[in-house]
Amino acid sequence: MVYSKEQHSKDVVEKYDAVVIGAGFSGLYMLYRLREAGLSTKVYDSAAGVGGVWYWNRYPGARCDSESIYYNYTFSEELYKEWNWSSRYPEQPEILRYLNFVADKFDLRRDIQFNTRVNSAKYDEELNQWFIKTDDGRTVSAQYFITGIGCISTANLPNIKGLDNFEGEWYHTGHWPHEKVDFSGKRIGIIGTGSSGIQSIPVIAKEAAHLTVFQRTPQFSVPAQNHPYDSEYLRKTKENFHDLKRQMRESMAGVSMYYRDRSVLDDASEERRKVLEDAWEKGGWAILFAYNDLVTNEESNELVANFVRSKISEIVKDPETARKLTPTHYYATKRAIIDTDYFETYNRENVSLVDVKESPIQEITAKGIRTADDEYELDTIVFATGFDGMTGSFFKMDIRGRDGVSLKEKWANGAETRTYLGLTTAGFPNMFMITGPESPSVLGNMPVAIEQHVEWIMNCIEHLRENDIKFIEAKTEAEDLWSKQCRELADQTLYTKTASWYTGANIEGKPGGFQIYVGGYGPYRKICDEVAEKGYEGFLLIPS
C-alpha cells in the first residue's frame, strides 16, 4: 500500500513513535519501557481495563498454573517486594488486582485506550510508518508496531449446529461475564476438559443441581496442592529476589525449578513409584521436573503416564467413568494440567460424564444437547472449548507489510508460519511480536518470556535510534533457518505426536503445525542476545 502524504495528513489523527496492541502482561511492560526510553506510545485493548487474558478469563475456579512467586514481573525489585500473593495458585481476581496495581504504580493507564479493537495495521514503505486503524474509525501512525496479543486469547466457539435455538443461557470460559453466573439449582452442561474445564468443573458441580461434562479427549491432570502462603515464606522469597530472578531467567521454563538429571528409565519401578508419589504430593509441575526425558522418550513417557492413569482409577469410584477419564496420549504433550479435586468430582451424585468421541454431539436443541445416543436437557451450557492459539489473534486483524502482503496470506493460515526468533517476520519492517509463534513462550511461565521479549525489543529499538536506522527487518534466509530449527527440535520430542492447541488440531479446518521453540527459555535467551551482540545478525538494518 502507498499512503499518500495528503491522505496521511487528512486521515491520520495522531502520530506516535510506537503503537502496542494489548494491555496484559506484555503490553503493560512494553509501555513502561517505551515510555522510560522517551518514545511516544499508544496502547490499544478491546477490554475495558488492563489484564489481557486475565481480564476475560473470569470463569469459576480460574487460576494460573504457574506458582504465583514466579508469576510476576521481576523488572522492578520494588514492585516484587510490594506485592503479596495470598496463595501458591491464586484465583483470577487476585491476578487481575496485581495487574491493576502495576498499572497504577507506574501510571500506565494514561497511554492506553480501552474498549478499542485494532482492525488493521499496514506498513507504508515510502513513509516508513505503520498505519493502524481502530474500530472507533480512527487511524494513527507509528514507526514501530508491536503486538502484545497473547498466545491464547481468541476464544474458540465450536461450530455446533443449533446453538441459536438454545433457550437457556450459554457462556464461553474465555469471555466470562463480570457478574456472577448463578448455577444453583440448575442443570449445567460443560463442553471441554482442558485447563478451563478442569478448573471450573469442581466449582460448578458444588453449586449446580446437575452437571453433565461433555468430554472429547480425556486429560492428564495432577493435584495443584494449592495452599495459602505464610508470611515467612514470602519474606524469604523476597529476600532471595536477585537469585530467584536470575534462576527464572536462566531456567528452561521460567521458574526456579530444574529437571532432575535422570531418565525415567534409570529408576527401578519401586524407586520410580516413590519419586512420582513424592512429586504427586508436592503437586503443581513437580512431576514434569522429576525426570529429564519425559517428552523425548516414549518409554519414559509411558511409565509416567501409567502412574497418573493409576491415580485416576484409584480416585474415581465408578470403573466405567474412570475408563472414560483415562487419557491415551503422551503425558504432558498437551499443556500439563493441575487441578483441585477434578477427578474426585466424578464421585459426586450430581455429576455425569459423556464421552463425545463415543457418542458425538449432533446438535444443540432448544432444550439442551443431543448426542448420537441421548438428549440432555440443560439450563446452561458452558463452552470450555479453548482458543485458536498462537496465530488466531493475528488473523483477526488485517496486518500488511511491505508491498501490501498480508500476514495471514504469508503464514497461509498457520501452516506456513515463519518468524525469526518468534519476534519478527520477514516483509514486516519495524514490527515486533511479544511471545509470537516460534518463541518458547507457552511452554513455561509466561511473564518471564514476556519480560525477555520486551527487553530485547526495547534494546533493539534503542539501537535503531542511536544508529539512525530507519528500519529493521528479518531476512528471509534467517527466518527460514529459524523455522526449520524450531521444527527439527520439536520433531525430536513427543509434542508433535499429539493433537493439541499447540499443533492447531483443536480448531476445525486449521492447518496443523507446531509453532513453538522447544529448546527452553534460558538457551533461547542466549540465542536472542547473541543475535543482538552480533549487530542483529539475520536482520536487514537500513539507515535513514
Per-residue binder mask for ligand NA7 (CB under 6 A), 323-362, x = binder: ------------x--------------------x------
Contact between 386 and ligand NA7 by CB under 6 A: the answer reads yes
Query: Rg of the chain's alpha carbons, rounded to an integer?
Result: 24
- Taking CB under 6 A as the criterion, the residue among 43, 211, 305, 384 binding ligand NA7 is 384
At CB < 8 A and 24+ separation, what contacts does 81-88 make?
Answer: 81/238, 81/241, 84/229, 84/231, 84/234, 85/229, 85/234, 86/228, 86/229, 87/226, 87/227, 87/228, 87/229, 88/224, 88/225, 88/226, 88/227, 88/228, 88/229, 88/284
Which helix (H) or strand (E) is 119 found in, with range?
strand 118-124
- Taking CB under 6 A as the criterion, the residue among 394, 501, 514, 536 binding ligand NA7 is 501
Kindly state the smallest distance separating residue 49's Cβ from ligand NA7, in Å: 20
What torsion, rounded to 10 degrees, do the Cα atoms 70, 75, 78, 81 define?
Answer: 0
Which range, of 193-201, 415-423, 461-469, 522-530, touches ligand NA7 by CB under 6 A? 193-201
Nearer Cβ to ligand NA7, position 278 or 374?
374
Instruction: Please identify which residue in the block is written with the cell numbers 508469576.
Output: 71
Contact between 206 and ligand NA7 by CB under 6 A: the answer reads no
Which range, of 180-188, 230-238, 318-326, 382-390, touches ligand NA7 by CB under 6 A? 382-390
Contact between 192 and ligand NA7 by CB under 6 A: the answer reads yes
Nearer Cβ to ligand NA7, position 37 or 511?
511
> Could you give phi then psi for residue 119, rounded to 5 degrees?
-90, -40
Which range, of 188-196, 245-253, 416-424, 460-468, touches ligand NA7 by CB under 6 A? 188-196
Under 8 Å CB-to-CB from 166, ≥6 apart: which residues? Answer: 364, 365, 366, 368, 381
Nearer Cβ to ligand NA7, position 41 or 193?
193
Kindly state the smallest distance separating residue 507's Cβ from ligand NA7, in Å: 8
Asked if residues 521 and 252 have their Cβ atoms less than 8 Å apart, the reply is yes
Q: Which three cell numbers stand for residue 514?
A: 507446531
Kindly state the smallest distance separating residue 445's Cβ from ligand NA7, in Å: 11
Asked if residues 104 and 32 have their Cβ atoms less than 8 Å apart, the reply is no
- Total residues contacting ligand NA7 (rule CB under 6 A)? 20
Residue 14's CB is within 10 A of a number of other CB atoms, namely 13
Which range, of 186-194, 301-309, 422-430, 530-538, touches ligand NA7 by CB under 6 A? 186-194
Binding region for ligand NA7 (CB under 6 A)? 152, 158, 173, 191-197, 216-217, 335, 356, 384-387, 501, 506
